[in-house]
Amino acid sequence: MDSKNIKLPKIDFSHEDLKPHTLVWNQVKSQVHKALVEYGCFEASFDKFPIHLRKSIFESSQELFDLPSQTKLKSIRTKPFNGYVGFCHPSIPLYESMGIDDANIPHKAEKFTQILWPQGNTSFCKTVQSYSEQLSELDQTIRRMILESLGVENYMDEHMNSTNYLLRLMKYKTPQSSENEMGLSSHTDKSNITILYQNQVNGLQVLTKHGQWINVDPTPDTFIVLIGDSLHVTDSGVHWSVWISYWSIPKAGYMIKAPKELVDEEHPLLYKPFTHLEFIAFSYTEEGMECESALKTYCGV
């Protein structure tokens, strides 16, 4: 795959005066809008994230994945994307992950921890909860800016109050010479926003709206913000298109197809209202996996 190296737009969310209706807020909001229209993603600098917490989340991830398979499987998948997934299909032999639902809520993080460590693991519990809580602050800021940019502030409270968070810890095994190097097949994220923090894995590639693949070398200690399927849909007809794929080690990362347009003014309602969990369930059906756009097939007008 021919590609060239570039830097994604890097946006700083660390300013102490970054509050709605301020000059700084409007400047950063403009940068977010421009980056998403061009690439569908950007780098986010957020210095409110302590360095020790950035280090601890990878240490905790390693501790989790070092557990016996029988222990990890105790995390039952009650919702799509949560619970343990490990080497479950020949097409993805290198990938395992653990999804922790509402990890930003202390008692939810503690409940999950007790499943894997009945004797308790205070360090792991505090790390995943603190990490998720800090990251949710960045997520809320970005989503608020997006809704303001799209002129749908009237839906702000409803949107924010209906949000929950999923912390996904992921590990890719180094492929052997005889193994398939594909990490995960091409897909779109079904969430509103994905925020990726990589452990020195430079495998990110972006497909621009001009059809060119570009390699992305993220700046150390920044987050990659990616737009998911669920931001295709609001009552005002927001259309934001982003495609994602995971590839192999060392090419373990995302592929993004940036949107050609933000709002279709001639057809303001592009999608019917839908229930997020039902849409996710459809996306895993044979029809959902084979169609070009699961979202358009499921609830397109």
Query: Model confidence over 269-292: pLDDT tens digits?
Result: 566 776 767 777 777 677 877 777
Residue at token pair 């105790």: 74
Cβ atoms of residues 206 and 5 within 8 Å: no
Pairing between β-strand 10-12 and β-strand 4-6 as defined by DSSP bridges = unpaired
Q: Tens digits of per-residue pLDDT, 228-268?
A: 776 654 333 333 333 333 333 333 333 333 333 334 444 45
Domain that holds residue 98: 4-270
Kindly state whether residue 70 falls inside one of the protein's structural domains: yes
Q: What is the predicted pLDDT for the residue at 236?
A: 37
Kindly state whether residue 245 falls inside one of the protein's structural domains: yes
Q: What is the predicted pLDDT for the residue at 53?
A: 93
Q: Is the dihedral of CA 113, 119, 121, 126 positive or negative?
A: positive
pTM for the whole thing? 0.78
Kindly state whether residue 226 falls inside one of the protein's structural domains: yes
Q: Tens digits of per-residue pLDDT, 94-121?
A: 778 899 999 999 999 999 999 999 999 9
Residue 16 pLDDT class (50, 70, 90 cuts):
confident
Domain of 171, CATH number, reads 2.60.120.330
- Count CB atoms within 10 A of the CB of residue 3: 13
Q: What is the predicted pLDDT for the residue at 152?
A: 76
Kindly state whether residue 256 falls inside one of the protein's structural domains: yes
Is residue 55 scored above 80 in pLDDT?
Answer: yes
Kindly state whether residue 249 falls inside one of the protein's structural domains: yes
Pairing between β-strand 223-227 and β-strand 41-45 as defined by DSSP bridges = antiparallel
Q: Comparing C-alpha atoms, which of 223, 199, 168 is closest to residue 41?
A: 223
Q: Quote the number of domains for the chain.
A: 1
Which contiguous run of DSSP H or E holds residue 84?
Answer: strand 83-86
Kindly state whether residue 284 falls inside one of the protein's structural domains: no
Kindly state whether residue 290 falls inside one of the protein's structural domains: no
Say how far apart CA 254 and CA 244 lie, in whole Å: 5
Please tell me which of 12-16, 38-42, 47-51 the model is most confident about, judged by mean pLDDT. Answer: 12-16
Is residue 296 scored above 80 in pLDDT?
Answer: no
Is residue 66 scored above 80 in pLDDT?
Answer: yes
Kindly state whether residue 103 falls inside one of the protein's structural domains: yes
